[in-house]
Structure 1
Amino acid sequence: MLHNPKHPYFYSAGLEGISVGKRNIPAPENLKKVDRRGSGGMVVDSGTTFTMLPSNLYDSVVNEFDHRVGRFNERASAVEETTGLGPCYYYDKVAKVPVISLHFVGNGSRVVLPRRNYFYEFLDDGDGIGKKRNVGCLMLMNGGDEEELSGGPGATLGNYQQQGFEVVYDLEKRKIGFARRKCSSLWDSFKN
């Protein structure tokens, strides 16, 4: 866990990179640490819906994802315009998408995201007249240019990407842990 002198209430981690399939995309240096002005790092925030990445990293992740998925599936541009998500694709049966993993600074820490945490699948009825089609969209957001992000977190790990994980904050040892859990069964264990 990174110390943020300007925003001590943020729980931040250093992001080393993001893997799309087997390709590791390095994170910019400002995501690996927080400077004395409080800029940088990746804040873990359950109050933000989707993960937001700085433009350059976001573009690299999207380009790699599109390279792997767009070769086999038609782009759903109209859905992108309507939802604000992207890239989105039409598919017939099951869309084949690469695994996305987050790599954190320290001890080779890695969080492999379940598919449902980064690829939203739904049925699009288009204009309501035509055939309904299966659509899937990448659920990461462009957080803006690095210059725009100065004075605060460089990226945000949103709650959609945290779902199905128990996130543990060890404030004494300054560590954040992620463990796959069926959170509903965890809640039931507290009631007994």
Structure 2
Amino acid sequence: MLLNHGERILSSAQSIFEGTGVKISVKVAGIHWHYGTRSHAPELTAGYYNIRFRDGYIPIARMLARNGAILNFTCIEMRDHEQPQYALCAPEKLVRQVALASREANVPLAGENALPRYDEYAHEQILHSSSLNLGGDNEGKKGDEQEMCAFTYLRMNPQLFQDDNWRKFVGFVKMMREGKNGNKCWEQVEREAEHFVYVSQPLVQEAAVALSP
């Protein structure tokens, strides 16, 4: 039912936006709770038929590929050990499975963070997930990386524009832009980003005021 619904919606969207240059992106929820169980009950409840012996994300990725859509996945800032251990959460393993499915279906993969995070630890995980090595036994082999085509940062609010958070965010954007060719530590990147932090201050103050309750 979920796949059929996706086909209908994308078919309608294509008929509307065809020839306009608009890229259609479909958000697939990152349901990582109880991912470490054999039943994958939360995913099944949401309509994602992903169990121990069946990859539920390949059919979704193939459906998106048939309709020329981008697979937009969430929770890429999360690490397995940060989640409640009693719930057997595994967001990193889930992101990897979805990345493999998108590569199998030859559909572009985009990502976003699920929670508002402003710390470098989360930024580092986003950088890692946005260029995930899927080599397995051939790790490090050329062509094993799954590069995300886009990333959406959630979200813009007064907390983001606090001095320390904004400084880290500017450094994070610089690291994302430079990608794997950067090879710089966070301290160096933040030093280089100071100019952009300084020149953006009037806009940051304006945004903070506009977003205040």
| Structure with the largest fraction of strand | 1
Tell me the TM-score normalised to structure 1 length: 0.25
Bigger RCO (CA 8 Å, 6+ sep): 1
Which has the higher Rg, Structure 1 or Structure 2?
2
Tell me the TM-score normalised to structure 2 length: 0.24
| Structure with the largest fraction of helix | 2
